[in-house]
Amino acid sequence: MVLLMLDAGLRVGELQKLDVYDLWQFDMPVDSLLIRAEISKSKRDRTVPLTPRIHNSLIQMDAICWTGEEVNFGCPAFTTGHRDNRMSIRQIQRVIKDIGSLAIKRRLTPHMLRHTFATRLMRSTNIRIVQSLLGHTSLSSTQVYTHPDADDLKKAISGLV
């Protein structure tokens, strides 16, 4: 869950609505994730290429959670324990909060992961690409997610020489 928000910029509501078949097809993880219009906040499809980290995590998810005849690939990707009980948005928020407390000893929210995704992208590509990957219709929405630091400013100026 964390990697899909951190490396693919998913909103918590999009993550919550994913089914196994969104992530795993033809006995292997997908290379790009199609965020279907019916689960997207903007009600438009968008495709996000997946990182090797996500790819490896999906292989682990399959080995632990999705294998066996009882798995229906139309079932929720993230469940509460019973294969058909989709985790709620609040449950996902709690899991992320707990992971933050344990792993980095700091407060962590799903939205912080999405902000980090956008900020990291801004260091390697232009804002229009970031807009597309975040699924924003308005460029002004994307600007809220970008947080340039001192290194970003130095890099921009050094490009002038």
127-134 and 110-122 helices, crossing angle to 10°: 150
Q: What is the pLDDT of residues 93-119, one digit of tens each?
A: 999 999 999 999 999 999 999 999 998
Q: What residues are annotated to the active site? A: 11, 41, 111, 114, 136, 145
Q: Does residue 76 carry a pLDDT above 60?
A: yes
pLDDT for 70 equals: 53
The reported pTM is 0.87
DSSP readout, the chain?
Answer: -HHHHHTT---HHHHHT-BHHHHEETTEE-SEEEE-TTTSTTSS-EEEEPPHHHHHHHHHHIIIII-STT--TTSBSSBSSSTT-BPPHHHHHHHHHHHHHHHTSS---HHHHHHHHHHHHHTTS-HHHHHHHHT-SSHHHHHTT----HHHHHHHHHTT-
Confidence bin at 60 (pLDDT 50/70/90): very high
Residues present in the chain in total: 161
Domains of the chain, by residue range, sit at 2-158
CATH of domain 2-158: 1.10.443.10
